[in-house]
Amino acid sequence: MCGIFGVWNYKGLNGHALRKASGMLRHRGPDDEGFLLVNQGAAIPYAGDDSVIKDLEQLPDSLPSPNALLHRRLSILDLSPQGHQPMRHQDREIYLTFNGEIYNFQELREQYKLPTKTGTDTEVILQLYAKIGEEAFSKFRGMWAMAILDLEKNKLVLSRDRFGIKPLYFTEKNDGLAFSSEVKPLLSLPGMKSEWQRDKLLQFLVYGATDDPCENFFKGIESVKPGHYLSFNLDTLSKTETHYYNLRKQIRKSEYANGTFDERFGDSIREHLISDLEVGSCLSGGLDSSLIVATACPSVKKTFTCSFPNSDIDETRFAMQLTSACPDLNQHFTSPSSRDFLEAFDEIIRTQERPIGSASVFAQYAVMKSARKNGITVLLDGQGADEVFGGYYPFAGAYLLSILKSGNLGRFNREMKALKKNFNPKMEQAMLRSLFYNLPKSLKLLVRKKKRLGFDLIAENYHNRAAQLDVPERGASEFTELALKSVGFGLQELLHYEDRNSMRFSIESRVPFLDHRLVEWTLSQPHENLLKNGWTKNPIREALDKRGLKDLAWRRDKLGFVVPQKEWRDELFPQLQKNWKDLELDEVFDFNSVMDLLNNPVHSNSAQSEFWRIYGLIRWLKIFKVELV
């Protein structure tokens, strides 16, 4: 895992500006640092203070640097200086700065008979691109954000992995281009401002989301979309966008539709364990992380869990059950307090570069901090399982609705009864939620205005404007469509949190459930194989049962990484009132309605997300000095 940055034709930059950008990304790659400057067709490498190659010239602060690549390395594979980046192709004028892991690099090296001198996946990327061009992206298995500078073909290619596990931002300013793993280095460039559109703020407050699943919350900064690559002409900076991976199309024709869950998941775990450093795992006590650990042990020996002793949300007892299947586990538990959270809140906002919608982000932050403290650099985590296997509440509603539409009332009654018993007693509400997505647009708006507390947060003169804003549907009434929406929207937010929290502590986080072969296999299965006898995520439960973890497999009270949000909210409430006045936000907000909403016990649970949305937004506006335009 690493940090990447680059500019092309970005006037006014010098070596000092590049060093500053590199410093902002140091947490993503403290092990090595490299620069490549291009002037009149000549590419010259330079060193920085953290460079491991000592015979390179140090980058002069005053050197004009309108065309450059930058890399910060977190060494995982081939820990030697041979993995230094930006890396040049052995024989050609092609250069690469790359963040991520290509798990099948050894397989590709053999398949395409690629000549390599190092043990890195980086070199395989360069060699395969030189051989087959952008077609290489569809051959990779893994997670990545990369920039390929192809001076022979006069283009710069930015590519992102299939599901957006690794971030890649870019901006086009002053007739120039800049890209980065994070937003802060881009904001430091000449001509950049911390601005946000007022309409985006309204979308976020009312709907909890904007119209962009890759939203970065700063005007003028975009994301390369998951499963896409951009190609820029170096002379004109005109760009073309190519969608190289379409999950919807893939599940109709996937070569990975056959086989068993155990085979597909086992293959993914084996690849995600490829590392020259020790691999640990997050362990929430839920199904997904428990199966990861049970499958990966004894290769994985250290696990990390967030616990809240004497609380009804504590998952410690479930996490500890893993020792029956993995007796050599060395389990680590961290118990962050409300004081820890309050002290870390602004740092979390700086890390995330956006408002947060839940205090559970801090639980993950605390787990990553604990892992780094205990010497772990590579962590496995369970992101993606709920979105793909149908673990969320709305999936059950969509499933029942499809059975009802088929006219099989006997099966419908059986499945309804089983889901009420084993998953959630409120299945009628789940079905109504699914039916909502079949309503005409005008009726949907009426329902939203009645049900969404967000409309009560904003001043009345903004109501009509907020109602007219177009926000893509994040849900659906059909199971597969809901999974596709969940991967394309909600999962993007969780992957953002995952990347920032892990990289804040120089940790590479890996997500085995997002191996594209496993995702395609899962979404190719009949829905009744995923929701079976009233049990959601049935393949995962059966796999846990086979490993002797029966109590975990058939537990009904899934929590995951959670925190005592209400208690922490109550402690932060006075600070919210103070910060509110400091920012003078009454133009957009209805202050009295907000205070009533957040103080009213009736809304104590339903207003949780609204509280964190408001407080996170206020701190983000303050920390990044954001102007509303």
Q: Tell me if 32 sits within 8 A of 45, measured CB to CB.
A: no
Which two structure tokens, joined as six digits, stand for 458? Answer: 């904003």
CA distance 32 to 120: 15
How many other C-beta atoms are found inside a 10 Å radius of the C-beta of residue 487? 23
Determine the 3-state secondary structure of 378 from DSSP.
strand
Among 428, 5, 469, which residue's Cα sits nearest to residue 198?
A: 469
CA distance 613 to 355: 7
Among 522, 503, 497, which residue's Cα sits nearest to residue 512?
A: 522
CA distance 150 to 147: 10
115 burial via Cβ count (<10 Å: 0-12, 13-18, 19+): exposed
Residue showing tokens 């009736």: 602
Among 483, 473, 476, which residue's Cα sits nearest to residue 524?
A: 483
Cis peptide before 440 (omega within 30 of 0): no
How many other C-beta atoms are found inside a 10 Å radius of the C-beta of residue 599? 11
CA distance 558 to 232: 46
CA distance 629 to 620: 16
Ramachandran bin of 330, using left for φ above 0, alpha for ψ from -120 to 50, beta for the remaining angles: beta
Among 4, 45, 21, which residue's Cα sits nearest to residue 147?
A: 4
Listed in order, strand segments (DSSP E) in 204-258 are 222-223, 228-233, 239-243
CA distance 419 to 424: 6
Among 616, 527, 609, which residue's Cα sits nearest to residue 575?
A: 616
Q: What is the longest distance spanned by two Cα atoms in the chain?
A: 77
Residues in a beta bridge with 145: 99, 160
CA distance 607 to 371: 32
pLDDT at residue number 204: 84
Which two structure tokens, joined as six digits, stand for 83? Answer: 């993995």
Q: Tell me if 122 sits within 8 A of 128, measured CB to CB.
A: no
Which domains can be identified in the chain, with CATH numbers? Answer: 2-183+224-245 (3.60.20.10), 249-389+489-553 (3.40.50.620), 393-488 (no CATH)
Q: Tell me if 90 sits within 8 A of 117, measured CB to CB.
A: yes
Determine the 3-state secondary structure of 158 from DSSP.
strand
Residues in the chain, pLDDT under 50: 602-603
pLDDT at residue number 421: 93
Distance of CA 548 to the CA centre of its chain: 32
Among 101, 102, 37, which residue's Cα sits nearest to residue 65?
A: 37
Using CA atoms, how far residue 527 sits from 396, 416, 481, 524, 530, in Å, is 10, 15, 12, 9, 5
Please write the tens of the pLDDT for every residue from 244-265: 999 999 998 888 889 999 999 9
pLDDT at residue number 606: 59
Listed in order, strand segments (DSSP E) in 235-363 are 239-243, 279-282, 302-306, 330-334
Which two structure tokens, joined as six digits, stand for 521? Answer: 């296999």
CA distance 488 to 482: 10
pLDDT at residue number 614: 83
CA distance 263 to 115: 31
Which two structure tokens, joined as six digits, stand for 371? Answer: 């892992």
Angle between helices 287-296 and 538-546 in degrees, nearest 10? 40
Among 65, 56, 60, 9, which residue's Cα sits nearest to residue 34?
A: 56
CA distance 104 to 99: 15
H helix and E strand count, the chain? 26, 20
Helices of type H across 189-283: 198-207, 247-253, 261-272
pLDDT at residue number 602: 46
What is the identity of the amino acid at 337? S
What is the identity of the amino acid at 16? H
pLDDT at residue number 604: 52
pLDDT at residue number 364: 96
Among 95, 171, 108, which residue's Cα sits nearest to residue 137?
A: 108
Which two structure tokens, joined as six digits, stand for 462? Answer: 């903004």
Residue showing tokens 């002793």: 309
- Encode 172-189: b = buried (16+ Cβ within 10 Å), e = exposed: bbeebbbbbbbbbbbbeb
Sign of the Cα pseudo-torsion (135, 138, 140, 144, in order): positive
Cis peptide before 472 (omega within 30 of 0): no
pLDDT at residue number 375: 97
